[in-house]
Amino acid sequence: MTARGLTIFAAALLASCGSDEAPLPEVTSYNIDRDRITVSGVSSGAMMATQFHLAHSDFVGGVAMIAGGPYYCAEASLQKGLGPCMKGGDMAMPSLLEYARAAAAAGSIDDLGNLADDPVWLFHGANDVAMHADATQAANEFYIAVADVQATLVDDIGAAHGFPTLDAGAACNEMAEPWLNACDYDAAGELLGTLVGELAPRAEATGSVVELPQPGADDATMLPLALAYVPATCAAGESCGVHIAFHGCQQSSTYVGDAFARDAGYNEWAEANDLIVLYPQVDSSKIAPMNPMGCWDWWGYTDENYATRSGPQVMVVKATLDLLAGETL
């Protein structure tokens, strides 16, 4: 093991100290291209994607959101989250913009000027009855207002509330586990093409899905392990980008195993385009009603700073990304 690998392994072990659970796996670091890091997510994962984008726009270069809404939509209120943020209506855009600008001025999130050249891809399924189309439109309006970025918007696919795929998952218009929808539509390829740029044709995913520790997971209502798809070229030391894909509610490994990481469609594009795909994993709260369905924190169940760099889940994902890179990005 290299010196850097030993350092990372030691950090992982320290993160697990005091636990009676099985030891966390050793982490291999990779040659990460800091200029090729993007994020996406579905449902609560879409909300997490925009939070991570704004928190770390210094190195996150684009965002895709499926069935999501604007940054800080819930304003730390579950009532607002379940209300206009999901059912449609007035999402108080001036208040959301004020929060983002104040957070940037205070250094709680990165400079909003970083967003100016970042691509944004938005999707709302035509048969989605869980998340109103108003939320997706508000996400578009947010990025226009805060950074003059016009998103690519897709809203003419007959998908239910889930992640659209070519042929994996439930019927396209059915909302059912594993929350993938076989719509003959390659959302992963479409969003990666927008965020990363022109792609080589998708290839068989012959690389490995690996587990890696999520440092600080217990303090952030997250599972001990994330998943990651690593193409053979990246494992061999080639310079690779990273795409972070946030699952939706009831879509973590606790609920669906590796179905999202295996079948959403990211890995085939990653294989052909030197991308590692990181699949962070959130847990459900042990005590309802804070987070009984394993959703990402987009309304403040971890703490009031949830949408900033010091948000517990944002910090865990950043630490996991740093493990992959073998350094602080």
Closest by alpha carbon to 248, among 211, 281, 199, 205? 281
Sign of CA dihedral 127, 258, 243, 250: positive
Q: Is 43 annotated as catalytic?
A: yes
Closest by alpha carbon to 234, among 9, 29, 4, 30? 30
Q: Is 247 annotated as catalytic?
A: no
Report the distance separating Cα 52 and Cα 309, nearest Å.
8
Catalytic position from the list 161, 252, 253, 284: 161
Identity of residue 291? N
Q: Is 57 annotated as catalytic?
A: no
Counting every residue written for the chain, the total comes to 329
Closest by alpha carbon to 210, among 281, 316, 284, 295? 281
Catalytic position from the list 44, 53, 57, 128: 128
Backbone torsions φ then ψ of 225, nearest 5 degrees: -125, 140
- The residues carrying an active-site annotation are 43, 128, 161
